[in-house]
Amino acid sequence: MKVSFPHMGYLYIPLKTLFKGLKLEVIAPPPISQKTMELGVKYSPEFACLPLKINMGNFIEAMEQGADTIVMAGGWGPCRFGYYAQVEREILQELGYDFKMVILEAPDSRISELLLQLKALGEKVSVREAYKAIRFAWKKLIAIEKLEKMLEYCLPRAVDKNHMETIFERALQAVDEAESQQEVEKIAQESLREMEKSPFKSAEVLKIGLVGEIYTILEPASNCHVARCLGRLDAHVSRSIYVSDWVNDHLFGGYLRKSNHKQIMQSSRPYLNYEVGGHGRETVGSTVDFARLDYNGIIQIAPLTCMPEIVAQSILGKVSEELEIPCMTMYFDEHSGAAGVYTRLEAFVDMLQRKKNLPSSPLLLEARA
């Protein structure tokens, strides 16, 4: 069995570790490229949202490299994600690919059920070996997210932003290649120290909350690298969700660490009192939380036609007015261009810096020249 899966940010690193721990041959799809987009758009329904199209491109590229099994997450609720796997399977079968689609349904707190799903995927592994594989993958995921959060903090403050990104990319590769939990922890600690010791500017930076649909937030290729761009414009970005939050809340019922999901749901009241699918309610609750933490602005990002985020967007205007925090919404599809996205980000950051009487970032000064 040669297993592959869709790309979503740096999730491919712990997924490779998990499947190798289940004694499966792993064929990770190539990094998302223009070719990936073109394949996905060519064979997906026009009205489908961008994540499905990128998934399709991922799967086709992986199967062209020999993958014969696709592992995909399932879901339910108003978001169309719940039937992504079924739609993708039918399209790929019509294209003539011979493969097996394994759909992992989120068991919502029933840990034993998740363990059995993963054990069934592994051909010759015990429950103990499956548990060990999950634990090692989780360690890698946590290490990666520590590095991501440190980059989000350091990039806007760094004197040499290229050097900061180089440290991060080097650490990611090392974590990917690590063979033990001890090695992962050592790499993370050393890389975090190296980032902390880099020269920083003394000027105050903006704080911007990034909220919206989970795939668009976590996969840089789907949002024209919004977080990196904001960091280079001297804005400290905090995301409303990370992969470990979703895994902890939906797969392990908050067992792995303390969850703030209930608090986010409470913050969404009285603006939104019921579920609207996807992460629409979390978008509203996280915006309220960022405003209460004195963030300077909010950027909501989502795929074009994302119904839960359209509902959230209709509410963010009231949140923005009452809590006095500027909000900007950006939708992405295959027609989104980096130049247009960066222009909107520069204008938003410029407005916030003027509002707070902060000096403009060097990139903005260069753009105005």
Q: Is residue 329 part of a domain?
A: yes
The verdict on 157 and 287 lying in the same domain is: no
Per the structure block, which two tokens stand in for 284?
């509203």
Distance CA 157, CA 199 (A): 9
Q: What's the chain's Rg over C-alpha atoms?
A: 21
Distance CA 238, CA 208 (A): 6
The verdict on 297 and 246 lying in the same domain is: yes
**Residue 337: CB atoms within 10 Å:** 9
Q: What is the pTM of this model?
A: 0.92
From the list 79, 361, 312, 56, the residue with the least C-alpha distance to 208 is: 361
Q: How many domains does the chain have?
A: 3
The verdict on 49 and 167 lying in the same domain is: no
Q: Is residue 60 part of a domain?
A: yes
Band of pLDDT at residue 88, cut at 50, 70 and 90: very high
Q: Is residue 131 part of a domain?
A: no
The verdict on 348 and 268 lying in the same domain is: yes
The verdict on 169 and 265 lying in the same domain is: no
pLDDT of residue 356: 85
pLDDT of residue 260: 87
pLDDT (average), residues 17-28: 92
For the chain, what is the largest distance between any 2 Cα atoms, rounded to a whole number of angstroms? 64
Q: At what angle do helices 181-197 and 127-154 cross, to 10 degrees?
A: 0
Q: Is residue 134 part of a domain?
A: no
Tens of pLDDT, residues 215-270 = 999 999 999 999 999 999 999 999 999 989 888 877 676 777 888 889 999 999 99
Distance CA 355, CA 119 (A): 55
The verdict on 96 and 47 lying in the same domain is: yes
Q: Is residue 133 part of a domain?
A: no
**Is the pLDDT assigned to residue 352 strictly greater than 80?**
yes
The verdict on 190 and 276 lying in the same domain is: no
The pLDDT mean for the chain works out to 91
The verdict on 240 and 312 lying in the same domain is: yes
**Is the pLDDT assigned to residue 109 strictly greater than 60?**
no
The verdict on 194 and 209 lying in the same domain is: no
Q: For residue 316, what are the β-bridge partners? A: none
Q: Answer with the one of 183, 201, 219 that is the final residue of a domain.
A: 201
Q: Is residue 130 part of a domain?
A: no
Tens of pLDDT, residues 324-338 = 999 999 999 999 999
pLDDT of residue 103: 85
Q: Is residue 21 part of a domain?
A: yes
The verdict on 165 and 116 lying in the same domain is: no
> Domain containing 34 — which CATH number?
3.40.50
Q: Is residue 135 part of a domain?
A: no
Tens of pLDDT, residues 140-172 = 999 999 999 999 999 999 999 999 999 999 999
pLDDT of residue 264: 95
**Is the pLDDT assigned to residue 108 strictly greater than 70?**
no
Band of pLDDT at residue 62, cut at 50, 70 and 90: very high
- For residue 175, what are the domain limits? 141-201
The verdict on 6 and 71 lying in the same domain is: yes
The verdict on 218 and 280 lying in the same domain is: yes
